[in-house]
């Protein structure tokens, strides 16, 4: 009989904050007067206030007691906790810690699937004779990471990825939890439905209207009712509530399912021409990434966050899959025009999806005027120059004309 699957989900506790704390303790000479461990005081890693990227990226447990939340504006966090210690993000250092974290996991299994910078699934099937029972092996991994790298992790253990992920989200930090199928009624079903994977705020509201408030109530609801209210997602969350989830670990990263770019703008955009400038910069980056991976997108979406932090988005399917900057830009401008209601815009983003290989070619139609070939050659030439001489070696003329306030200077951040 084949061995039953044994999956670990390993999640770094407050990753950015933890890595920042460890780095500062290792190099106190670089941070005079900051010998205190950030993890032991109300602290957070935040964005750049001057560029209005001022959101909380990670917080300490003491900060959590003040109800400081990841993703909220820094100004809101400071109202809740005036003595909050804020430090800027240093993503290069975080990538180094992430690589060291993965290297330790690879000592225990050759099947490690990294799903983000700070969390992984590890297939530990059949390793009991090497590392002991599951809880013992998980504790060994957890303690090795803490001893060698200085930060803590949570480890969730089960027979599939969904349950392992749910287990690792139980009480934190620095703990090991199991959630095997026979433990589901006692450990998972009493949790609120919002704790279940794939259940966001909108889905939660829909489930509440059906009288479903816990995962157990969801698990015992007729799937037909859920399909009627949530369509395909209804069936998916019902399966998740009953512990059915993916179990195959993919050591090699899967092909990108989407390519996107977004920027928080240093001033409120209140006119269409300024928005179009931002969209051109975003389309340029997204197009380059698609071309670099020899991929094309069939769907383009535009995301808007207004100055009151409300969000809206709009997407459309293209006539032809493309990686041409001008085609992505033209579509994004049209979507923005249809979506924008005139309110001041704080953030703009372009997202592409339904990705396929560029080698698949382009289906010709009577609507084509052949100009796409010219744009493809232009994009390839610009990519080649930038690769050889740097990203600023060639720029579009529209970015050379800045108004007196410098409002046409953009520096989008990839997402």
Cis peptide before 173 (omega within 30 of 0): yes
pLDDT above 80 for 68:
yes
Helices (H) and strands (E) in the chain, counts: 15, 13
pLDDT above 70 for 150:
yes
* Mean pLDDT confidence for 298-303: 93
pLDDT, tens only, 173-218:
999 999 999 999 999 999 999 999 878 888 899 999 999 999 999 9
pLDDT above 70 for 33:
no
What pTM was estimated for this model as a whole? 0.65
Lowest mean pLDDT of 30-44, 118-132, 293-307, 322-336, name the range.
30-44
Nearest 10 degrees: CA dihedral of 271, 276, 278, 279?
Answer: 140
How is domain 258-414 classified at the CATH fold level? Dna Ligase; domain 1 (3.30.1490)
Report the Cα–Cα distance between both ends of the chain, in Å, rounded. Answer: 44
pLDDT, tens only, 204-257:
999 999 999 999 999 999 999 999 998 888 888 999 999 987 666 666 555 566
Pick the CATH number of 188-241 from 1.10.150.20, 3.40.190.10, 1.10.357.10, 3.30.70.890: 1.10.150.20
pLDDT above 60 for 391:
no
pLDDT above 90 for 125:
yes
Catalytic residue among 119, 217, 252, 272: 119
pLDDT above 50 for 16:
yes
Mean pLDDT of the chain: 84
Among the ranges 84-98, 203-217, 257-271, 351-365, which has the highest mean pLDDT value?
Answer: 203-217
Q: Is the dihedral of CA 12, 14, 19, 22 positive or negative?
A: negative
pLDDT category at 4 given cuts 50, 70, 90 is confident
SS3 per-residue string spanning 278-342: HHHHHHHHHHHHHHHCCEEEEEEEEEEEECCCCEEEEEEEEEEEECCHHHHHHHHHHHHHHHCCC
Which of 72 and 100 is assigned the larger pLDDT? 100
C-alpha 78/C-alpha 86 separation (Å) is 9
Question: Is 136 known to be catalytic?
Answer: no
Domain ranges of the chain: 188-241, 258-414
The 10 Å CB-count burial string (b at 16+, else e) for 200-238 is eeebbebbeebebebbbbbbebeeeebeebbeebbebbb
Among the ranges 31-35, 299-303, 388-392, which has the highest mean pLDDT value?
Answer: 299-303
Tokens of 201: 């705020």
pLDDT above 90 for 317:
no
pLDDT, tens only, 325-363:
999 999 999 999 988 988 899 899 999 988 887 665 555
Q: Which residues pair with 154 in a beta bridge?
A: 11
Place of tokens 């670099």: 292
Which of 55 and 135 is assigned the larger pLDDT? 135
Alpha-carbon distance values, 330 to 19, 312, 322 (Å): 41, 19, 12
Indicate if 258-414 has the same CATH topology as 188-241: no
pLDDT at site 202: 83
pLDDT at site 247: 63
């Amino acid at each position: 009989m084949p061995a039953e699957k044994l999956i670990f989900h390993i999640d770094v506790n407050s990753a950015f904050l933890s890595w920042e704390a460890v780095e500062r303790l290792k190099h106190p000479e670089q941070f005079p007067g900051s010998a205190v461990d950030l993890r032991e005081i109300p602290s957070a890693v935040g964005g750049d206030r001057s560029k209005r990227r001022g959101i909380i990226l990670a917080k300490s447990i003491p900060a959590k007691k003040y109800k400081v939340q990841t993703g909220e504006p820094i100004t809101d966090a400071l109202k809740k906790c005036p003595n909050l210690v804020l430090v800027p993000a240093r993503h290069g250092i975080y990538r180094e810690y992430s690589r060291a974290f993965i290297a330790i996991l690879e000592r225990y299994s050759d099947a490690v699937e990294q799903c983000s910078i700070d969390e992984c699934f590890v297939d530990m099937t059949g390793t009991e004779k090497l590392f002991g029972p599951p809880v013992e092996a998980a504790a060994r991994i957890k303690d090795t990471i803490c001893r060698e790298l200085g930060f803590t992790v949570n480890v969730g253990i089960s027979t599939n990825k969904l349950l392992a992920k749910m287990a690792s989200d139980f009480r934190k930090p620095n703990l090991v939890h199991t959630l095997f199928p026979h433990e589901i009624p006692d450990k998972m079903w009493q949790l609120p439905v919002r704790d279940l994977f794939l259940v966001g705020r909108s889905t939660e509201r829909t489930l509440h209207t059906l009288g479903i408030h816990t995962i157990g109530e969801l698990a015992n609801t007729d799937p037909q009712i859920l399909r009627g209210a949530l369509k395909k997602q209804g069936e998916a969350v019902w399966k998740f509530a009953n512990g059915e989830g993916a179990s195959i670990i993919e050591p090699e990263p899967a092909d990108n399912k989407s390519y996107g770019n977004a920027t928080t703008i240093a001033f409120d955009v209140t006119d269409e021409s300024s928005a179009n400038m931002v969209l051109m910069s975003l389309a340029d980056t997204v197009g380059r990434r698609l071309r670099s991976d020899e991929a094309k997108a069939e769907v383009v979406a535009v995301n808007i966050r207004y100055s009151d932090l409300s969000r809206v988005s709009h997407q459309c399917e293209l006539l032809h899959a493309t990686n041409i900057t001008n085609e992505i830009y033209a579509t994004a401008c049209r979507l923005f025009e249809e979506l924008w209601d005139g309110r001041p815009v704080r953030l703009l983003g372009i997202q592409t999806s339904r990705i396929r290989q560029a080698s698949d070619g382009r289906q010709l139609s009577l609507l084509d005027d052949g100009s796409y070939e010219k744009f493809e050659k232009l994009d390839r030439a610009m990519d080649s120059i930038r690769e050889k001489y740097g990203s600023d070696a060639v720029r579009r003329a529209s970015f050379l004309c800045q108004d007196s306030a410098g409002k046409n200077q953009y520096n989008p951040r990839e997402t």
